[in-house]
Amino acid sequence: MTGVEIIAAAFARSDKRAALMPYLMGGFPDIEKSLAIGHAYADGGADLIELGIPYSDPLADGPVIQAAGAQALRAGSTVASVLEVAQELAGRLPVVVMCYANLVLSRGQDQFASALAQAGVSGLIVPDLPIEEAPTLLAACDDRGVALVPLVAPTTPDQRMAKIGSRARGFLYTVAVTGTTGERSQQPTDLAAVVKRARRYTDVPVAVGFGISTPQDADGAAQAGAQGVIVGTRLVRAAAESKDPAEAVRALVSDFAGALR
């Protein structure tokens, strides 16, 4: 099966109202523990895993994920070592890599897509690569069956959303809030409107991320029409705060999964 097909099957197979996709910072707090956290996500009931490759200048991330990425880099994590984590986890769940543009360009777009395919990675999200800059990478990913997942935001106008939606592979990453990643005490009031617009303009599932902090938020996103829910900062913070990160995130992920069943 290609990555695109694996992702489609994961959404179809999910026993929840929306597929649950926890975010894992690769190499945080170190490579070994991040692998354990990934397994705990699977144990807790995740349907897919979004695996972040740490980057020096993550423009789309708030303080918690920034700090985790910086720690992962200090601990010596590299693109190659995170792809090894990906390969291990891909045996259990579909893995979608989240990676900033410069890491992709530095290796070369074809080479990067090949490395993903070789590691069994199903999809790729590049948060600082809008569709205007993406044609080469899209072709490279298409050639290898890796889904290049684009993002839309509340600020994205309809016409642009249609363009992005038509080029989406795997799923359409719908940013719930105007802002960077991070927990928020209040969910955006217009979430349903954004999700509705996103669904109108694409054939692939719409997954909502950024700011989903509690199981209630996840439930709210599903009620707003999301077909997938991405939980990031809440889990990274739990991993950072706990002596036993794997156990802490397993419990949390199963709470999120419960809220979506």
Closest CB to other proteins among 70 and 139?
70
Distance CA 58, CA 34 (A): 19
Q: Is 32 a catalytic residue?
A: no
Question: Is the alpha carbon torsion for 238, 244, 245, 249 positive or negative?
Answer: negative
Cβ atoms within 10 Å, residue 59: 11
Q: Is 61 a catalytic residue?
A: yes
What residues make contact with other proteins under the rule CB under 8 A?
Answer: 55-57, 59-62, 66, 70, 73, 78-79, 100-107, 127-130, 132-133, 150-157, 160, 164, 175, 178-180
Parallel, antiparallel or unpaired: strands 95-98 and 123-125: parallel
Q: At closest approach, how far in Å is the CB of 235 from other proteins?
A: 21
Q: At closest approach, how far in Å is the CB of 71 from other proteins?
A: 12
Q: At closest approach, how far in Å is the CB of 65 from other proteins?
A: 11
Distance CA 57, CA 260 (A): 33
Closest CB to other proteins among 61 and 217?
61
Cβ contact 210:221 at 8 Å: no
Closest CB to other proteins among 150 and 225?
150
Distance CA 75, CA 210 (A): 26
Closest CB to other proteins among 44 and 52?
52
The residue from 47, 50, 217, 219 that is catalytic is: 50
Contacts of 131 (CB under 8 A, 6+ apart): 150, 163, 164, 167
Token pair in block for residue 176: 């719930």
The 3-state DSSP composition of the chain as helix, strand, coil percent (nearest 5) reads 50, 15, 35
Q: At closest approach, how far in Å is the CB of 70 from other proteins?
A: 8
Closest CB to other proteins among 155 and 243?
155
- For residue 189, give Cα distances in angstroms to 94, 141, 156, 193: 31, 35, 16, 9
The residue from 47, 61, 217, 219 that is catalytic is: 61
Q: At closest approach, how far in Å is the CB of 57 from other proteins?
A: 5
Active-site amino acid positions: 50, 61
